[in-house]
Amino acid sequence: MILPHSFFEKSTVAVAQALLGTVLIHDALEGPTSGRIIETEAYLFKDDPASHAYRGKTKRNAEMFGPPGRAYIYFIYGMYHCFNVVTGPEGTGQAVLVRALEPLSGIELMQMRRKTTDLKALCSGPGKRVQAMGIMPSQNGSSLRCGPLTLCTGGKTGAKPMPKGDIVCTPRVGITNGAELRLRFYLKGHPLLSRRCIHAKSTRRARCDLV
DNA sequence: TGGCAGATTTTA
DNA sequence: AAAATCTGCCAA
């Protein structure tokens, strides 16, 4: 079942947690790929200096201010793309960065795109994940409820909401502003999460709590 | 294993 | 100049 519009209208933190365990599917020309979301980060619109929306709307972050349930894809570090799910009321500028997936289907295609057979290296970070699934920058702003890129749960995906006790909450990775906010969520003890992410510097300093 | 340089666009 | 990243190379 495709995630309903109402799913994305909850608070960004709630959506970041609820996305864990759901399945992202990309039907690309070369073939389908899919994976189960195991790591997310929330980016808020105010009191969050790490958010692209913090200083208001720009050409780059415009899609972040669009309706919830769409993709916000941006270019970073001159090399990589990151994929976000827009959340909250339209115009506020909030999103959830989808960091890591557990690959489910199209694994051979992912291995070709990533030039590695190591399952751990396919989708264990935001840049890798976009590359593995063949997500294109032109898909920025596309709906995640129809089209080639969709978010699903239940039904044939077998995905179910995760119990709160399975979700760990830590500071976000790779930021300096707002590093104390614990807005990163992942499934406790998942074997495909990179050790580097779980023990990231910002994480080591602060507590890692269950939600 | 842990740390860091380098790839290079977007924004402040 | 620093960034919501990743890889490869280095030292221990």
> Strand C closer than 7 Å to the CB of A50?
yes
CA-CA-CA-CA torsion sign (A165, A166, A167, A168): positive
> Strand B closer than 7 Å to the CB of A195?
yes
> Strand B closer than 7 Å to the CB of A196?
no
> Strand B closer than 7 Å to the CB of A78?
yes
- Answer yes or no: is A207 within a domain: no
- Answer yes or no: is A166 within a domain: no
Q: How far apart are CA A30 and CA A116, in angstroms?
A: 18
Q: What global pTM score does this model have?
A: 0.94
Model pLDDT for residues A8-33, shown as the tens digit of each residue: 999 999 999 999 999 999 999 999 99
Q: What is the CATH number of the domain that holds A122?
A: 3.10.300.10
**d(CA A121, C1' C7) / Å:** 12
Number of domains in chain A: 1
Model pLDDT for residues A156-197, shown as the tens digit of each residue: 888 888 999 999 999 999 998 999 999 999 999 999 997 666
**Residue A204 binned pLDDT confidence (cut-offs 50, 70, 90):** very low
